[in-house]
Chain A
Amino acid sequence: MTDLYMAGSADTPEIDFKFSSNTLEMSGEAYPENGVEFFLPVLKQLQAYLKSLTGDSVEFNFKLTYFNSVSTKILYSLFELLNEYAKSNPDSVKLNWFHDEDDDTILSFGLDIQEDFPWIDFNAIAVA
């Protein structure tokens, strides 16, 4: 499957999904005018990628520093997809949750993800 790369901008994240090496990364800020329109194709590609896998391990580096409420909701669906894959392939998904050490908002969203999607191996990484 072809890798997915989208350069970031002020209100959209950099998306670097290296499907070929099972390493997915998202960084920057996300508050596009229409979050659903922006993220839906990304989710669809992720879904197709996960379907194509045969139990491979996937590593997701989450490095967003801000995302608005619409993006939050879509990201939740994204982690739901990863959780479903991990449920059928235990110990296959590692989520590295990078957050600024004094950003309790992003950490607490990460902890919600950890609680709701227990099949994902959640790893919080505080950045100084």
Chain B
Amino acid sequence: MLIDVFTLFREEADSNGIVFYYSGVLSQNVIKAMGDSLKQKLQKQDEKGAKSRKVFSTFIEMIQNAMHYSPSSPDYVPSSPDNDISKEGSIIVGKDNDKYFIICANFIEKRFEQRIREKLDPILSMTAEEIKLAYRQQLKNDQHGDDSISKGAGLGFLTLARDSIEPIEYALRSAVGSEDELTCFYLKATI
């Protein structure tokens, strides 16, 4: 019966150190509520707070990035009403020994794949020192008006990379059933 399945789901999540999981509509109101819930859970687990702040920051950067990148532009027309997954995403926060991991997944329009690769691939090959330098450079770079879709995602990805104690990871996978227009974008950081 379904209650048994749900019990198993919850117990598995608990035993795997899952602190927080969400999958659904992304709006700023939902993000605020999730942020509040996450903060309270983290406060109970990490009394010093320095780590909590980085987990919270990573969470907000990822989920807002998901909200901004999700198909929502006026020129995006889903091929059928069933494909209208605009502004949805999933995020998970968990603890593995002393490390927190945060993984976010959201659909993007296929045409943005290349842009994401171009932004993330260089960061993936940087040392911690190079990330700091690139962050400083991006901070000074005044050209944030030229790319209305990425909002400043350049600094967002560098913020994630700067705070992650292991190199950030990403994956782009075809969206089952909507391969021609949508891609699922996964991003992972470790705090």
Contact = CB atoms under 8 A, between A and B. Distances in A.
Main secondary structure of the interface of B (DSSP, over half): helix
A104 B139 CA distance: 17
B28 A33 contact: yes
Contacts, number: 64
Nearest to A104: B50
Interface in B37-92: 48-50, 53-54, 56-57, 60-61, 64, 67
A103 B156 contact: no
Interface string A102-122: 111100000010001000000
B57 A68 contact: yes
Given A11-B28, A112-B136, A69 B156 contact: yes
A66 B57 CA distance: 8
B32 interface: yes
A90 B144 CA distance: 30
B179 interface: no
What is the size category of the interface that chain A forms with chain B? 20 to 34
Contacts of A116: 140
A31 B163 contact: no
Contacts of B167: none
A72 B139 contact: yes
Contacts of B11: none
B137 to A, nearest CB: 11
Contacts of A104: 50
A69 B56 contact: no
B129 to A, nearest CB: 14
B32 A11 contact: yes
Given A31-B60, A68-B60, A68-B64, A103 B50 contact: yes
